[in-house]
Structures are given as structure tokens and as C-alpha cells.
């Protein structure tokens, strides 16, 4: 068993569909690891399997999901073999999660105080008074001014950014080893996005916490995470050090993602068009060979007739060099 905090090897997630159809293969042979205190950025278009991977880590996939893995270990716990009692300790305890829309994650009818105290009591076994004190301290840690006032607020009285800070305060209340932030800023204004990401980064460093940061913006990952994994159609297509990948993407999809960013001004010759044409293939109409080939500008005949493996962090048999494939 490895010493990583989270170690995932050959994770496969299927969803049972109607009786006559074969199950949908939504995540394929996914392997990655995270060490204590490390941030992993995960990027990819909608439908690439980012959220279901996170749900698998939290043990929250629906009954219709079939999960298998060679290794799927968090903090020495084999996640696919966990008993419910252990899950209760891990989920919302050692692993916490924040979501895209903080407003819908909060109960609109209950005060921030009530929601925070209930969450804290559930995981820490503190008295109400102690839980209240910890709530104030946590609100302060996540940069909320006048914590006392905010504690008595109801969700509708909070801005989106403030609501996300409250969610982060609740998520870190159990001192998680791993925080999963699944598109935590997608619902927020651009200026607020940066503040929230900066907050997450500072909590990562201060608490030596690991973070999985999911976003569809590779630029955000470039700014906040040293390590990145690019996903496409349920597979990792490129993974490694963010700086290297952003400076010299090898996979045509990564290159296209970079070029499709609003701020991307330098487009190299023969790279893919700014907006990536086509859509992620539906899971019951998978193309043969490379999953990206119907949308790739560099497809050759050998891309279509074989399964493409991840080699040196890139799942492409004609990788790019300086934005051009040779």
C-alpha cells in the first residue's frame, strides 16, 4: 500500500442503465494520487467525470453505480470496503466537500448559527457553547467580518461569496485531511472567485490540508495548483506539473483548452480553433480508439484503431511539441 494520502489506481465507474443496455462506462482506468498538504487541480469540460470521481471518493455515488479499482485508498482505508460506521467518520470528517452553489447547499430556513453548530456537534462531539465559539473562530478564519452578526444571519442575507465562505468554514470545522472543492467559484463573480481561491490556498498552507480543486478554467489552476490533471470523456488525457503543462501542453485537448480561454491571445500556428468544436462523446456512443479523435485537428489513422494509453503523463500517440504535432 502506498504512503499517499489518497491513492487511486485504475478506478472505473459504470452506471447501470436500462436492462437491455450495457452499463455506461463513465470513468475509465483513472489513476492519480495526492499527498498530505498538496493541491491537485482537475480540469475538463462538463461531462468528463470530475464530479462522479469526487462522489466516489466521498462514497456518495448512487446505487446504480458500479465501482472498481486496483487501489482506492484514503489514509490507509480501502474505500471500496468501508463499513458505514467508518464512512461516517470519513465523510464530512476527514474528507469534506464544498460545491458550486453555496446557496443551495445551505438550508434557507435555518440561521448560519444553527447550521454551523449542528455540523460541528455531529463531528466534534462538542457542547453547544463550545460549538458556537468554534463557529465564531471559523468564520473569522475564513475572512468574514463581524462573525457574531453573521452567525445570526439567514442564508438570504449573505452574498454568494459570503455564503461560500460559510460553507468553507463548515467544511474545515472537522479539520479534514482532504477538502474537495468542486467548481467552488463557478456561481460567483470574477473578483469574488479570486478571493475564494486565495482563501482556499491559504487554508491549504496553514492547515497542511490537501485539496482537490475542480474547475473548467486551466488558468485558475495555473495560478493556484502546482499539479494538474486534465480529464476528457472519463479519462485523464494529460497530467503533471501545472507550469510545464501550461507552458508546453502535449495533448491536443489541453492545448485546445488553453487556446479557448478568453485571455489567450497568442495562438500558435496549426493549433485547434479557439472554441473546441464538437461535444464530449456520449457515454453509450464512444468512438473507437482515442476518445478525442472526432474533435482533434491532428487525427491520423492510427489514432482510431487502437486504445491509447497514458504515457509519460499524456494520452496521445502524436503529442504536440511547441503547439505543433510533428
Ligand X SMILES: Nc1ncnc2c1ncn2[C@@H]1O[C@H](COP(=O)(O)OP(=O)(O)O)[C@@H](O)[C@H]1O
**Can you give the binding site for ligand SF4, defined by CB under 6 A?**
251-252, 290, 292-293, 296, 298-299, 303, 308, 316-318
**Min. distance of Cβ 304 from ligand SF4 in angstroms?**
8
How far does Cα 245 stand from its chain's mean position? 18
CB 314 within 8 A of CB 250: yes
Q: Does 51 bind ligand X (CB under 6 A)?
A: yes
Residue number with CB closer to ligand SF4 (224 or 298): 298
Footprint of Mg ion on residues 51-90 (CB under 5 A)? 51
Euclidean distance between CA atoms 128 and 147, whole angstroms: 17
Stretch that binds ligand X, among 41-49, 88-96, 191-199, 288-296 (CB under 6 A): 41-49
153 vs 116: CA distance, rounded Å: 12
The C-alpha cell that represents 185 in the structure block: 467559484
Beta bridge partners, 24, equal: 15
Site string for ligand X, 56-85 (x = CB under 6 A): ------x-x---------------------
**Residue whose cell numbers read 482533434:** 296
Between CA 136 and CA 144 the distance in angstroms is 9
Nearer to ligand X, 49 or 222 (CB): 49
Residue 43 host element (H or E):
strand 39-43
The DSSP-derived string for 66-115 is EEE-SEEEETTEEGGG--HHHHHHHBTTTEEEE-S-HHHHS-TTS-HHHH
CB 2 within 8 A of CB 33: yes
Least Cβ distance, residue 234 to ligand X (angstroms): 7
Q: How far is the CB of 47 from ligand SF4 (least distance, A)?
A: 18
Residue closer to Mg ion (CB basis): 182 or 238: 182
CB of 112 to ligand X, least distance (A): 28
**Of 257-286, which residues contact ligand X (CB under 6 A)?**
283
Of 5, 6, 8, 24, the one binding ligand X (CB under 6 A) is: 24
- Helix 190-207 vs helix 160-172: angle between axes, to the nearest 10 degrees? 20
CA terminus-to-terminus distance, the chain: 40
Binding characters for Mg ion, 36-55, by CB under 5 A (x = yes): --------------xx----
Minimum CB separation from ligand X for residue 47, in Å? 4
C-alpha cell at 244: 510545464
Nearer to Mg ion, 50 or 295 (CB): 50
In the complex, minimum distance from the CB of residue 60 to ligand SF4, in angstroms, rounded to a whole number: 32
Which residues in this chain contact Mg ion in the complex, by CB under 5 A? Answer: 50-51
Which residues in this chain contact ligand X in the complex, by CB under 6 A? Answer: 15, 24, 26, 44, 46-52, 62, 64, 283
Amino acid at each position: 500500500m502506498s504512503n499517499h494520502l489518497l491513492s487511486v489506481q485504475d478506478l472505473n465507474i459504470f452506471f447501470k442503465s436500462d436492462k437491455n443496455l450495457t452499463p455506461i462506462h463513465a470513468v475509465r482506468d483513472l489513476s492519480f494520487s495526492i499527498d498530505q498538504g498538496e493541491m491537485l487541480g482537475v480540469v475538463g469540460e462538463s461531462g468528463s467525470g470530475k464530479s462522479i470521481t469526487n462522489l466516489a471518493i466521498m462514497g456518495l455515488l448512487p446505487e446504480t453505480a458500479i465501482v472498481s479499482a486496483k487501489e482506492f485508498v484514503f489514509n490507509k482505508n480501502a474505500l471500496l470496503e468501508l463499513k458505514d460506521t467508518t464512512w461516517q467518520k470519513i465523510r464530512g470528517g476527514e474528507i469534506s466537500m464544498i460545491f458550486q452553489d453555496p446557496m443551495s447547499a445551505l438550508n434557507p430556513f435555518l440561521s448560519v448559527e444553527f447550521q454551523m453548530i449542528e455540523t460541528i456537534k455531529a463531528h466534534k462531539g462538542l457542547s453547544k457553547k463550545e460549538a458556537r465559539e468554534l463557529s465564531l473562530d471559523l468564520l473569522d478564519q475564513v475572512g468574514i467580518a463581524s462573525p457574531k452578526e453573521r452567525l445570526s444571519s439567514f442564508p438570504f442575507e449573505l452574498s454568494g461569496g459570503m455564503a461560500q465562505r460559510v460553507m468553507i468554514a463548515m467544511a474545515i470545522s472537522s479539520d479534514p485531511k482532504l477538502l474537495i472543492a468542486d467548481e467552488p467559484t463557478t456561481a460567483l463573480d470574477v473578483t469574488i472567485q479570486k478571493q475564494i481561491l486565495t482563501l482556499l490556498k491559504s487554508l491549504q498552507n496553514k492547515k497542511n490540508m490537501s485539496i482537490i480543486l475542480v474547475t473548467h478554467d486551466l488558468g485558475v489552476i495555473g495560478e493556484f495548483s502546482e499539479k494538474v490533471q486534465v480529464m476528457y470523456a472519463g479519462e485523464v488525457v494529460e497530467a503533471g506539473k501545472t507550469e510545464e503543462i501550461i507552458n508546453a501542453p502535449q495533448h491536443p485537448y489541453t492545448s485546445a483548452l488553453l487556446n479557448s480561454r478568453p485571455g489567450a491571445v497568442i495562438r500558435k500556428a496549426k493549433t485547434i480553433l479557439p472554441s473546441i468544436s464538437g461535444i464530449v462523446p456520449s457515454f453509450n456512443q464512444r468512438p473507437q480508439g482515442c476518445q478525442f479523435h472526432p474533435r482533434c485537428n491532428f487525427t491520423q489513422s492510427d489514432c482510431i484503431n487502437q486504445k491509447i494509453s497514458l504515457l509519460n503523463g499524456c494520452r496521445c500517440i502524436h503529442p504536440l511539441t511547441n503547439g505543433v504535432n510533428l
